[in-house]
Structure 1
């Protein structure tokens, strides 16, 4: 084998090793993950949109990066005012690390902020907001000669999907399919949710 051929083989080996190492790096957890590092640098520049995108990429390759969930929760709460997404990531962080009083208090705070936002929005629309009590069969009001409506309207906001809507109205994401089934007349697939669309939220039986 000539020197030129040897150099070519060596170059291929180096590129292969570099690719394997790079792939391994992206599976690293928290601060060791390159996407996490990029997100931190973006935060230092006050570029929170890019930071959120990098933290999401970090979680895509490294689902155990619990600190990425926490940073996303803080960005969505403090910088983007996207309370449903903040709630999701606070809960994901707590699921990963266990009980934490400080984070639990932060979660409770953002849940109150989100409920206040919902009430303001529905007040402007002159439509009662859906509440856990209204949708929970354990809190049924007595029948007084007429049946209560079986669904409640919900206007899709930016960042909503069926899972976050389920969290908003039921307190859990597991009932997203009930919302989908109740709106099959206007949703071809669960992903076809549009901002401004009015969905029917079914009562839990």
Structure 2
């Protein structure tokens, strides 16, 4: 295994490309993990629309880049050691492919590897409202050992910007892999008593 733990990051076509980009930025800044990026064509298109970023801009943030069509890539094998994989964001198409074991591109194949090797797989599913197919696919992935982590804001942190919301969620994702980070998550410290509150 490499000197640093490896983390596979996939970016698919759902809204929320900033989550994958911010994750890559954090991994690059901290040096905590060797990042392996797999980005679908729809993911690149969404990032262009939402962030005005080119594919090359995003790929430059990763340590290693894999073509989504390359089923022969290292991350397609269970012998490739890693601490897991994050799909950020995860489209409902990708979710369905993972839930049904299709392995029809490198994103779903790498995710399938994580499940069969019992490694951590986190899907930042982005869709609302959810239909029954979405919910059943989420259940299937959960039953196989994956973690469904919709990027839901934590308002107890009193976020003041979109960056605050994104950073908190990315920090929570890194927590799931035991990856150290600084300043991303405002930790819950219990209810703050204020004058006039019951029991204050």
**TM > 0.5:** no
Structure with the larger RCO, 1 or 2 (CA within 8 Å, 6+ apart): 2
> What TM-score, normalized by structure 1, do the two folds share?
0.26
> What TM-score, normalized by structure 2, do the two folds share?
0.27
Larger Rg: 1 or 2?
Answer: 1
More helix by share: 1
More strand by share: 2
